[in-house]
């Protein structure tokens, strides 16, 4: 069964300002973790809308397939697995080539019905993602942070950015 996610993403340059805004809003810190996401090529994926990933987060490992249905909506299928290395080998044995590796440190906060994450992506810098159950709440939070539509990174995920497909914003 898939899960649908809607989110906005922005490049940030002033972590202190974001931290102050999170505190002022009363956002609750949930957790911080490091992860390594290993992405594999998906056939017929010239526009970077399909993602096949093995995520290693401490002792937790998951296999995921994501389809970006639009610039803010993603369908996700994720399953916990026991062995990242074996999963990677299986994917390669059935023809999926290693694409990119995304290493990040993520801080997760909750605010109202939404999740706000601060990502420090190795080689890319810092980003904030706001994930909400509905577009109305997402837009309200966007405005509270002083962001707007023109500031959104709406057409590329971190793997695409690492490949160099992002025009600087």
pLDDT tens digits, one per residue of 5-43: 789 999 999 888 999 999 999 999 999 999 999 999 888
Q: Domains in the chain and their CATH numbers?
A: 3-163 (2.40.320.10)
Q: Which of 89, 46, 87 is nearest to 64 (CA)?
A: 87
Query: Which tokens go with 158?
Result: 């971190």
In this prediction the pTM is 0.85
- Cα angle 38, 43, 48 (rounded to 5 degrees) comes to 65
pLDDT surpasses 90 at 2: no
Please count the CA atoms within 13 angstroms of the CA of 167 that sit on its side-chain side. 5
The string of pLDDT tens digits covering residues 82-120 is: 999 999 999 999 999 999 999 999 999 999 999 999 999
């Amino acid at each position: 069964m898939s899960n649908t996610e809607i989110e906005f993403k922005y490049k940030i340059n002033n972590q202190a300002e974001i931290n102050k805004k999170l505190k002022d809003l009363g956002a609750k810190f949930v957790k911080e973790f490091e992860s390594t996401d290993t992405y594999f090529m998906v056939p017929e994926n010239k526009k970077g809308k399909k993602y096949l990933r093995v995520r290693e987060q401490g002792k937790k490992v998951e296999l995921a397939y994501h389809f970006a249905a639009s610039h803010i909506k993603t369908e996700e299928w994720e399953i916990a697995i026991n062995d990242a290395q074996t999963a990677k080998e299986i994917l390669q044995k059935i023809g999926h080539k290693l694409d990119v590796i995304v290493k990040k440190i993520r801080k997760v906060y909750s605010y109202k019905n939404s999740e706000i994450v601060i990502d420090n992506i190795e080689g890319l810098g810092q980003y904030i993602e706001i994930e909400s159950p509905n577009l109305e709440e997402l837009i309200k939070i966007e405005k509270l942070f002083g962001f707007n539509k023109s500031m959104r990174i709406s057409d590329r995920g971190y793997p695409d950015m690492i490949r160099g497909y992002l025009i600087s914003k």
